Amino acid sequence: MAVLRPRINPSTRHFWDALQTDHIEIQRCLTCQHWVFYPRLICPHCGGRDLEWQRVSGRASLYTFSVADIPVSPDFAEEPLLTLAVAELDEGMRLATTLVQVKPEQVRIGMRLAPVFDHTTFPDITLLRFSPSPDL
Protein backbone atom coordinates (compact mmCIF):
# COMPACT_ATOMS: atom_id res chain seq x y z
CA MET A 1 0.00 0.00 0.00
CA ALA A 2 1.12 3.52 -0.63
CA VAL A 3 -0.66 6.78 -0.10
CA LEU A 4 1.68 9.30 -1.69
CA ARG A 5 3.48 8.54 -4.95
CA PRO A 6 7.19 9.13 -5.13
CA ARG A 7 7.67 12.06 -7.51
CA ILE A 8 10.06 10.46 -9.97
CA ASN A 9 12.14 12.40 -12.50
CA PRO A 10 14.02 11.13 -15.57
CA SER A 11 17.36 10.81 -13.81
CA THR A 12 15.96 8.72 -10.94
CA ARG A 13 13.61 6.58 -13.04
CA HIS A 14 16.13 3.70 -13.31
CA PHE A 15 16.02 3.09 -9.55
CA TRP A 16 12.24 2.72 -9.60
CA ASP A 17 12.23 0.59 -12.76
CA ALA A 18 14.62 -1.87 -11.06
CA LEU A 19 12.38 -2.09 -7.98
CA GLN A 20 9.48 -3.03 -10.29
CA THR A 21 11.44 -6.21 -11.15
CA ASP A 22 12.40 -6.88 -7.51
CA HIS A 23 15.94 -5.63 -7.92
CA ILE A 24 17.83 -2.88 -6.20
CA GLU A 25 20.16 -0.83 -8.34
CA ILE A 26 22.17 1.96 -6.81
CA GLN A 27 24.55 4.42 -8.43
CA ARG A 28 28.27 3.95 -7.91
CA CYS A 29 30.88 6.57 -8.71
CA LEU A 30 33.47 5.13 -11.12
CA THR A 31 35.95 7.84 -10.11
CA CYS A 32 36.02 7.37 -6.31
CA GLN A 33 34.13 4.07 -5.97
CA HIS A 34 31.66 5.55 -3.44
CA TRP A 35 28.08 4.37 -3.58
CA VAL A 36 25.63 7.22 -4.10
CA PHE A 37 22.10 7.30 -2.74
CA TYR A 38 19.72 8.87 -3.66
CA PRO A 39 20.42 9.04 -7.40
CA ARG A 40 22.31 12.12 -8.51
CA LEU A 41 23.90 13.74 -11.51
CA ILE A 42 27.25 14.37 -9.78
CA CYS A 43 28.96 12.32 -7.04
CA PRO A 44 28.68 14.24 -3.75
CA HIS A 45 31.93 12.64 -2.53
CA CYS A 46 34.31 13.62 -5.34
CA GLY A 47 32.42 15.56 -7.99
CA GLY A 48 32.76 12.72 -10.49
CA ARG A 49 30.17 12.53 -13.26
CA ASP A 50 30.64 8.88 -14.17
CA LEU A 51 27.96 7.23 -12.08
CA GLU A 52 27.04 3.67 -12.96
CA TRP A 53 23.98 1.72 -11.84
CA GLN A 54 25.04 -1.46 -10.04
CA ARG A 55 22.89 -4.17 -8.52
CA VAL A 56 23.11 -4.73 -4.74
CA SER A 57 21.60 -7.48 -2.58
CA GLY A 58 19.63 -5.20 -0.32
CA ARG A 59 21.07 -6.83 2.79
CA ALA A 60 21.10 -4.16 5.45
CA SER A 61 21.25 -3.32 9.14
CA LEU A 62 18.87 -1.11 11.07
CA TYR A 63 20.55 2.26 11.78
CA THR A 64 17.61 3.79 13.63
CA PHE A 65 13.83 3.68 13.68
CA SER A 66 10.76 5.19 15.28
CA VAL A 67 7.21 4.16 15.81
CA ALA A 68 4.49 6.65 15.01
CA ASP A 69 2.20 6.19 18.02
CA ILE A 70 0.01 8.82 16.42
CA PRO A 71 -0.09 9.12 12.60
CA VAL A 72 2.80 11.06 11.08
CA SER A 73 0.36 13.10 8.99
CA PRO A 74 -3.26 13.00 7.79
CA ASP A 75 -2.15 11.07 4.66
CA PHE A 76 -0.96 8.21 6.84
CA ALA A 77 -3.93 8.17 9.21
CA GLU A 78 -4.89 4.64 8.11
CA GLU A 79 -1.45 3.21 8.91
CA PRO A 80 -1.33 2.65 12.67
CA LEU A 81 2.07 2.22 14.34
CA LEU A 82 3.93 2.88 11.14
CA THR A 83 7.50 1.85 11.90
CA LEU A 84 9.79 4.32 10.22
CA ALA A 85 13.32 3.12 9.70
CA VAL A 86 16.69 4.09 8.36
CA ALA A 87 18.29 1.05 6.75
CA GLU A 88 22.03 0.96 6.22
CA LEU A 89 22.82 -1.24 3.22
CA ASP A 90 25.89 -3.45 3.56
CA GLU A 91 27.56 -1.20 0.99
CA GLY A 92 27.28 1.68 3.47
CA MET A 93 24.59 3.98 2.10
CA ARG A 94 21.44 4.69 4.08
CA LEU A 95 17.86 5.07 2.99
CA ALA A 96 14.53 5.97 4.49
CA THR A 97 12.08 3.10 4.63
CA THR A 98 9.56 1.35 6.83
CA LEU A 99 9.80 -2.01 8.56
CA VAL A 100 7.17 -4.65 7.82
CA GLN A 101 6.42 -8.10 9.27
CA VAL A 102 7.67 -7.05 12.71
CA LYS A 103 6.01 -5.80 15.89
CA PRO A 104 7.31 -2.46 17.19
CA GLU A 105 8.46 -4.11 20.45
CA GLN A 106 10.67 -6.53 18.51
CA VAL A 107 12.63 -3.86 16.69
CA ARG A 108 16.29 -3.49 17.70
CA ILE A 109 18.81 -1.09 16.22
CA GLY A 110 21.56 -3.11 14.52
CA MET A 111 19.22 -5.96 13.58
CA ARG A 112 19.78 -7.54 10.18
CA LEU A 113 17.27 -6.65 7.46
CA ALA A 114 16.21 -8.09 4.15
CA PRO A 115 14.46 -6.12 1.40
CA VAL A 116 10.73 -6.45 0.81
CA PHE A 117 9.46 -5.30 -2.58
CA ASP A 118 6.09 -3.72 -1.94
CA HIS A 119 4.16 -3.65 -5.22
CA THR A 120 1.80 -0.89 -4.28
CA THR A 121 -1.66 0.01 -5.44
CA PHE A 122 0.02 2.39 -7.89
CA PRO A 123 0.68 0.04 -10.86
CA ASP A 124 4.05 1.58 -11.68
CA ILE A 125 5.39 1.97 -8.14
CA THR A 126 7.25 -0.55 -5.98
CA LEU A 127 8.41 0.71 -2.62
CA LEU A 128 11.51 -0.71 -0.97
CA ARG A 129 10.60 -1.79 2.54
CA PHE A 130 12.55 -4.06 4.89
CA SER A 131 11.86 -6.84 7.36
CA PRO A 132 14.07 -8.45 10.01
CA SER A 133 16.10 -11.39 8.77
CA PRO A 134 18.33 -12.75 11.54
CA ASP A 135 20.07 -15.25 9.24
CA LEU A 136 21.55 -12.67 6.87
What lies within 8 Å, CB to CB, of 82 at 6+ separation is 67, 68, 71, 72, 76, 98
Question: Judged by CB under 8 A, does residue 14 bind other proteins?
Answer: no
Question: Judged by CB under 8 A, does residue 121 bind other proteins?
Answer: no
Q: Please state, in angstroms and rounded to a whole number, the distance separating the CA atoms of residues 26 and 123.
A: 22
β-pair partners for 29 = 51
Q: Which of 24, 98, 102, 113 binds other proteins (CB under 8 A)?
A: 98
Nearer to other proteins, 70 or 123 (CB): 70
Using CB atoms within 10 A of its CB, is residue 51 exposed (0-12), middle (13-18) or buried (19+)? buried
Nearer to other proteins, 67 or 136 (CB): 67
To the nearest whole angstrom, how small is the minimum distance from the Cβ of residue 109 to other proteins?
4
Q: Which of 14, 34, 63, 136 binds other proteins (CB under 8 A)?
A: 63
Question: Judged by CB under 8 A, does residue 96 bind other proteins?
Answer: yes
What lies within 8 Å, CB to CB, of 97 at 6+ separation is 84, 85, 86, 87, 127, 128, 129, 130
Residues that bind other proteins (CB under 8 A): 2, 4-9, 12, 38, 63-70, 72-76, 79, 82, 84, 86, 94-98, 104, 109-110, 125, 127, 129
